[in-house]
Amino acid sequence: MTTPRACPGCGGSTSRRAFLQTTLAGTAALAVRPALAAPTPQDKPETLVAQLFRSFNEKQRGEMCFAFDHALRSKVDNNWHITKTTLDANLTADQRDLVKQIFFGLHSEEWGQKVYDQVVHDSGKAGFGSSSIALFGEPGTGKFEFVLTGRHCTRRCDGDSVAGAAFGGPIFYGHAAASFNEKADHAGNAYWFQAKRANEVFQMLDGKQRKLALLEEGRDEIGTDTVKLTGKTSGLPGIPMTELARDQKDMVRKVMADLLAPFRKADSDEAMKLVEKNGFDHLHMAFYKKDDIGNDGVWDNWQIEGPAMVWYFRGAPHVHTWVHVRESA
């Protein structure tokens, strides 16, 4: 692990009363803003990141704060810790509560608890407290990004500091619900509804279209390279949107809506804006025969890819989902 750079401007430890008063004051000061196509530094999660940043003592700064341009900021993986320490090991109760509030704020009201429960479940006995965080840059004075990682979780909060990147960069979500090797119905899986919707697209395809859409094997899972963008507008895996009828395209849009449903509106709006900017018709959708659980023709592994987007859903043996959406590759 690269030695972190101490972040400038981080204050020392604070009393519980002062800490909470500062946090509440910052939250209360937020003005209600109209829905925008990207997060801002004034959004509640971003404001809470700034509160957390200022609460760090010297030891915490040394373990969790980095320069904004540190290479670690752009990393993503399915099961990892961005720093060597965990929430339970290195944060106070108040700081852990702030991290939880930030996490909930990055998700939609409907999905916040469901996603939190998934992370707790997949983290084992240690629960959410086994997650780790890092802060890049300095909130309130320039570019910054908060990153939270753990098993089946990479989330970011940046106030749109990372220009042209939905979610602040690549993210990951997944779930092993009933077991590591899930059955064909993926009972209890928080995200299987997304694959069910995607398979509705496949069911609408005719024979010629299915030959284009159905491939043998999906992409390899190799950390950040899993979501490497190509910049290509044609020749991507699967069937291009230009080969779909209007009602089929409408179903793909419903798939996109389901993929974005767990996340806060500012992030999901920005992601869809970037997809549209690169041309919805440049998207390709692929389904993969390999690892069809139960051999039922309900494809567990599938993806949507465009010139500056990868959304890869690997449903076997359990759900792994790799996401990267940008303005340009």
Per residue, the 3-state secondary structure of 109-146, as one string, reads: CCCHHHHHHHHHHHCHHHHHHHCEEEEEECCCCCCEEE
List the chain pLDDT tens, one digit each, 329 residues.
444 443 333 333 444 444 444 444 444 433 344 444 789 999 999 999 999 999 999 999 999 999 999 999 999 999 999 999 999 999 999 999 999 999 999 999 999 999 999 999 999 999 999 999 999 999 988 999 999 999 999 999 999 999 999 999 999 999 999 999 999 999 999 999 999 999 999 999 999 999 999 999 999 999 999 999 999 999 999 999 999 999 999 999 999 999 999 999 999 999 999 999 999 999 999 999 999 999 999 999 999 999 999 999 999 999 999 999 999 99
What is the residue-wise DSSP string for 248-315? HHHHHHHHHHHHHTTB-HHHHHHHHHHHHHT-GGG-EEEEE-TT-GGGSS--SEEEEEETTEEEEEE-
Task: Report yes or no: 211 and 203 within 8 Å, Cβ to Cβ.
Answer: no
What are the extents of the domains in the chain? 16-162, 192-325
Looking at residue 75, its pLDDT comes to 98
- In the chain, the N- to C-terminal Cα span, in Å, equals 27
Residue 211 contacts by C-beta under 8 Å, 6 or more apart in sequence? none
Give per-residue burial for 149-161: e unless 16+ CB within 10 Å, then b: bbbbbbbbbbbbb
Would you state the torsion angle of the CA atoms of residues 167, 171, 175, 181, taken in this order, to the nearest 10 degrees? 150
| pTM of the predicted protein model | 0.89
Handedness of CA 264, 310, 120, 300 (dihedral sign): positive
Distance CA 17, CA 274 (A): 42
Q: How far apart are CA 172 and CA 154, in angstroms?
A: 5
Which residues, 6 or more positions from 248, have their beta carbon under 8 angstroms from its beta carbon?
201, 204, 205, 209
